[in-house]
Amino acid sequence: MNYRHSFHAGNSADVVKHSLLIRLVQALQQKPGALTLIDTHAGCGRYDLDGDDAHRTGEAMLGVWRVFDDTDPLLDDYRAAIRAVNAGPAPRIYPGSPRILSQLLRPQDALILNEKHPEDVRTLRGVMRDTPAAVHQRDAYELWLAMVPPRTARGVVVVDPPYEQTDERERITATIAAAHRKWAHGVTVVWYPLKDRATHARWKERLGRHGIPKLLTIEHWLYDDDQPGQYNGAGLFVVNPPYAFTQALPPLLASLRAVLAPEGHRGELLANWLGG
């Protein structure tokens, strides 16, 4: 599955990913110690919702635009992050994870971004020029292992690949296990698209063999049944999620499911411990 982000910016997957990422970082920041935030597949950092790519799919209409038409206060932090890069009341620019993470930084925190694509990394450097972020251009999986454990005692690694390579899931599985051996208490977030339930179940089974004790799976299935040949949703693996994050999840997931369910479908947004 090729997931080029300019075509999908602001869709339901972005809404879920960024809502949960904001809540996760906020939970970690309840303690005053410094955090290092690492984004291995940073992309361009900002996307034009009025551009040709976004208009070709129209997916933002079923994602960020729905949230802006809604008033649920549990989604206020997400809306605030989008408003921060838009001059008007309606979202025309969509911030990628790098811009959202930069908004969350405290003076003691650090942000490390990586993007291998030559054109995208040039754009990313321009977009992040007014932030303290360090921008690298390296292989994402090599950087992931090289950067952990970070210099600060605590940190978060965000892994958000386009799934262009046929071995993407295998590289994630191997690297998440290797990173956990180096940094057992570290927090890692892996985003993934959902093609069908059977394929995802097999991936979870492979991950489960590595014995990572605290691995939370969050799955957002858009449709009540798999739709063959379609994008069926997306989710996150979260290694070592903080307690404050897991406690806040049930009402937030309920709010996201309600606002994002396609017409005629109830949808599912579930959180479970891998192997539990």
3-state secondary structure of 217: strand
φ and ψ at residue 104, rounded to 5 degrees: -90, -10
Compute the mean pLDDT over every residue in the chain, rounded to the nearest whole number.
93
pLDDT digits (tens, 9 = 90+) for 3-53: 456 667 899 999 999 999 999 999 999 999 999 999 999 999 999 998 766
Q: What would the mean pLDDT of 98-107 be, rounded to a whole number?
A: 98
C-alpha 2/C-alpha 163 separation (Å) is 5
Cα distances from 9 to residues 69, 186, 202, in angstroms, run 17, 28, 28
User: Helix H segments across 89-240?
Assistant: 97-104, 118-127, 140-146, 168-182, 197-208
pLDDT for 1 equals 44
pLDDT digits (tens, 9 = 90+) for 133-188: 999 999 999 999 999 999 999 999 999 999 989 999 999 999 999 999 999 999 99
pTM: 0.94
pLDDT for 57 equals 66
The active-site residue, picked from 160, 196, 224, 226, is: 160
Torsion of CA 188, 193, 195, 200, to 10 degrees: 0
pLDDT over 90 for what percent of the chain?
83
- Domain locations along the chain: 5-273
pLDDT for 30 equals 98
Concerning whether 48 is annotated as a catalytic residue, the answer is: no
User: Partners of 19 in the beta sheet?
Assistant: none
The answer to whether 42 touches 96, Cβ cutoff 8 Å, is yes
Higher-scoring residue by pLDDT: 132, 4: 132
Q: What would the mean pLDDT of 119-126 be, rounded to a whole number?
A: 96
Q: Which two tokens stand for residue 151?
A: 């210099």
Dmax (CA) of the chain: 49
Q: Which CATH number fits domain 5-273: 3.30.56.10, 3.30.1390.20, 3.40.50.150, 1.20.1250.20?
A: 3.40.50.150
